[in-house]
Chain A
Amino acid sequence: MSDSLSPNRSHLLRGRKSLILLAASALCAVVAACSPVQPSSSGGGAAASPGAGPSSSGLAANYGPTAPPAPGTVKKGGTLTFGLSAQGDALDPTTTGALVNKQIFASMCESLYRLGGDGSINPQLATALPKITDGGKTYTIPLRADAKFADGTPFNAAAMITTWKRDLTDPESGRKSEMGPIASMKAVDDHTVQVKFSSPFAPFSSVLTDRAGIPESPKALKELGYDKFSTHPTCVGPYKFQSQVANTSVTLVKDPNYYDASKVNFDKIIYRIIPDSSVRAQDLKAGSIQVTDSLASTSMASIKSDSSIKVLTAPSMGYASLRINLKGDTPIAKSKLLRQALSLAIDRPTIMKALYGPYATPTCSPISDASPYATKQSQACPAYNVAKAEQLIKQAGVSTPVKITVKTSNTSDSLQFAQALQSSVKAAGFDMKIEPVEFATLLDDMDNHKFEAGILSWSGRPDPDGNLRAEMATNGTGNDSGYSNPQVDKLLDDAVHVTDTAQRAKIYGKMIAILNTDLPYIYLDRSQILVGYKGLSGVFIDPVGVVHLAYAGTTA
Chain B
Amino acid sequence: MLRRFLIKFGQGLLTVFLASIVVFLAIRALPGDPAETMAGEDQNPAVIAAIRAKLGLDKPMPEQYLLYMWHALHGDFGTSISSRVPVSTLLGQTLPVTLQLTVLTMVCGGIVGMLMGSVGAYWRGQWPEWLSSVLSLVGLSVPHFWLAMLAIIYVGTTMHLFPVSGYTPLRESLGANIGHLIVPALILGSALAAVLMRQTRANMLDAFGAEYILAVRAKGASESRVVIGHALRNSLVVAVTILGLELGGLLSGAAVIEQIFGLPGIGRLAINAVFSRDYPVVQGVVLVVAVSYVAISLLIDVLYTVLDPRIRVGG
Residues of A whose CB lies within 8 Å of any CB of B are: 2-4, 9-11, 13-14, 17, 21, 87, 89-90, 95-99, 171-174, 176-177, 227-228, 230-231, 245-248, 272-276, 278-279, 282-283, 285-286, 288, 438-441, 443-447, 458-459, 470, 477-478
Contact = CB atoms under 8 A, between A and B. Distances in A.
Contact of A440 (B37, B208, B264): B37
B164 A283 contact: yes
Interface stretch (B65-73, B83-91, B103-111, B232-240): B83-91
B32 A440 contact: yes
B152 A478 contact: no
B41 to A, nearest CB: 6
Given A247-B264, A274-B165, A228 B84 contact: yes
A534 B221 CA distance: 64
Contacts of A177: 42, 44, 46-47
Contacts of B164: 279, 282-283, 286, 288
Contacts of A459: 41
B160 interface: yes
Give 8 closest A-B pairs by Cβ, nearest first: A97-B40, A10-B125, A171-B50, A444-B32, A440-B32, A248-B264, A477-B44, A441-B31
A307 to B, nearest CB: 15
B38 interface: yes
Contact of B30 (A96, A246, A441): A441
Nearest to B162: A286
B272 A445 contact: no
A185 B149 CA distance: 54
Contacts of B156: 282, 286
A190 to B, nearest CB: 33
B190 interface: no
Given A17-B130, A444-B32, A275 B259 contact: yes
A174 B41 CA distance: 10
A174 B39 contact: yes
Nearest to A278: B149
A174 B165 contact: no
A510 B269 CA distance: 48
B126 interface: yes
B167 interface: yes
A87 B130 CA distance: 46
Given A3-B123, A9-B125, A247-B269, 12 more contacts: A3-B124, A14-B125, A17-B130, A90-B83, A171-B47, A227-B84, A286-B156, A286-B164, A441-B30, A443-B36, A444-B31, A444-B32
Contacts of B53: 171
B82 A13 contact: no
A381 to B, nearest CB: 24
Contacts of A248: 93, 167, 262, 264
A246 B273 CA distance: 11
Interface string B46-62: 11001101100000000
A174 B42 contact: yes
B36 A447 contact: yes
Contacts, number: 163
Contacts of B44: 174, 176-177, 470, 477-478
A228 B89 CA distance: 15
27 contacts: A4-B205, A10-B124, A10-B126, A87-B272, A89-B82, A96-B40, A97-B41, A174-B42, A176-B46, A245-B93, A246-B80, A248-B264, A274-B165, A276-B259, A279-B262, A283-B165, A283-B166, A288-B163, A288-B165, A439-B275, A440-B30, A440-B276, A441-B30, A444-B33, A470-B42, A477-B42, A478-B44
Contacts of B283: none
Nearest to A178: B42
Contacts of A10: 124-126
B156 to A, nearest CB: 6
A276 B260 contact: yes
A95 B81 CA distance: 12
B262 to A, nearest CB: 5
A13 B123 CA distance: 12
A45 to B, nearest CB: 19
B268 A447 contact: no
A443 B149 contact: no
A274 B152 CA distance: 14
B304 interface: no
Contacts of B36: 440, 443-444, 447
B11 interface: no
Nearest to B209: A4
Interface in B248-282: 259-262, 264, 268-269, 272, 275-277
Given A248-B264, A441-B32, A89 B43 contact: no
Given A282-B164, A288-B164, A445-B31, A246 B208 contact: no
B236 to A, nearest CB: 19
Nearest to B122: A2
Interface string B114-147: 0000000111111000100000000000000000
A13 to B, nearest CB: 5
A285 B157 contact: yes
Contacts of A172: 47, 50-51, 54
B45 interface: yes
B153 interface: yes
Q: Which of A99, A247, A274, A278 has the most CB of B within 10 A?
A: A247
Nearest to A478: B43
A276 B259 CA distance: 8
Nearest to B265: A247
A276 B37 CA distance: 20
B29 to A, nearest CB: 12
A288 B44 CA distance: 39
Given A174-B40, A458-B41, A90 B126 contact: no
A273 B269 CA distance: 12
B199 interface: no
Contacts of B121: 4
A225 B269 CA distance: 26
A439 B36 CA distance: 11
B152 A279 contact: yes
A470 B42 CA distance: 8
A286 B166 CA distance: 13
A474 to B, nearest CB: 14
Contacts of A2: 122, 208
Contacts of A477: 42-46
Contact of A13 (B45, B50, B126, B157): B126
